[in-house]
Amino acid sequence: MSLLDTLGSLMGGNAQGGSQQALVSAALEFVNNQPGGLNGLIQRFHENGAGDIINSWVSNGENQPISADTVQNVLGSDVVANLASKAGIDPQQAGGLLSQILPHVVNAATPQGEVPADGKLNSDTVLGALGGLASLFGNKQG
């Protein structure tokens, strides 16, 4: 799935849009509720061998991709299942969707390449940035 497809579907470009947007909201809540917020998530990635990946999302360069398996390894199966439950999606789909969503969420939360001082993600800022990008392309499919 391309960036444009991902953003289009996140913002309601297809029938899954609502579930994916719910997953974005659940992911934002998860990040903000863990110790250290985004800094805690970054630490978790480093502890599980994926530090270079999340560092690319924070920086102003190109985002490195992440596999569903790596998302499962970093976050843990319980966290992924919990996020899936909150979003009303199948836990088997959640890892794949999170691998598409998380790079964009972290990137949108760090537009200047810096983590917010309190480590908290502002959902309005993140969703606004994602929505702004999607609207540039008119939610086109394909």
33-65, pLDDT tens digit by residue?
Answer: 888 999 999 999 999 999 999 999 999 889 999
Largest Cα–Cα distance in the chain?
39
Q: Is the pTM of this model over 0.85?
A: no
pLDDT of residue 99: 93
pLDDT of residue 17: 56
pLDDT of residue 42: 94
pLDDT of residue 57: 94
pLDDT of residue 75: 94
Is the torsion defined by CA of 93, 98, 100, 105 positive or negative? positive
User: In 3-12, which positions are buried (b, 16+ CB within 10 angstroms) versus exposed (e)?
Assistant: ebbbbbbbbe
CB 46 within 8 A of CB 38: no
The model's pLDDT over 72-131, given as tens digits with 9 standing for 90+, comes to 999 999 999 999 998 898 888 899 989 988 998 898 888 888 888 888 887 777 777 666
The fold of the 3-136 domain, in CATH, is: Arc Repressor Mutant, subunit A (1.10.10)
Domain boundaries, the chain: 3-136
pLDDT of residue 120: 85
